[in-house]
Amino acid sequence: MKKIKNPRTVYFIAFALFLAGFGALLFTGLKQNSMYFLNVSEALAMPSAKMQQVRLFGTVASEGLEHDAQFLGVRFLLADSENPDLRIPVEYRGAVPDLFEPGAEVILEGGFDAQAAGLFSATTLMTRCPSRHEQENRSG
């Protein structure tokens, strides 16, 4: 084995390897945690292949709401906030928030189901609470 005469070369190689490893970890971590945040109209415009890990927001439509008492969950139509005629069918399994009702603004995480065309399978369901300031403006 050949002995390296300049110790700076060893430090430079070690530093370059460190930066390459750190960059690879950073890139894979950001790629795994990145998620599209879309409204209903944007989600309908995108190909379903890109919709495996997304966050959607919209309004719960008044029709099509079905609670599933046996499995804890709900099926409903998510309407676009700006164009209520655009809707996506959603299925969620889990505890439903207390503020979930028709007309409520919700945020969903999940993806489109490959077996059921057009059905969004939500893993997380959050309701958006109106702020105190918005309520004061409505009453005043």
Domain ranges of the chain: 1-33, 35-137
In angstroms, the CA 29 to CA 90 distance is 28
Side-chain-facing half-sphere of 44: CA atoms under 13 Å? 14
Tell me the pLDDT tens digit for each residue of 57-82: 999 998 888 887 777 889 999 999 88
* CATH number of this structure's domain 35-137: 2.40.50.140
In angstroms, the CA 65 to CA 75 distance is 6
Closest by CA to 108, choosing from 116, 93, 98, 46, is 93
Tell me the pLDDT tens digit for each residue of 113-123: 766 677 889 99
- pTM, rounded to two decimals: 0.66
The β-bridge partners of 129 are none
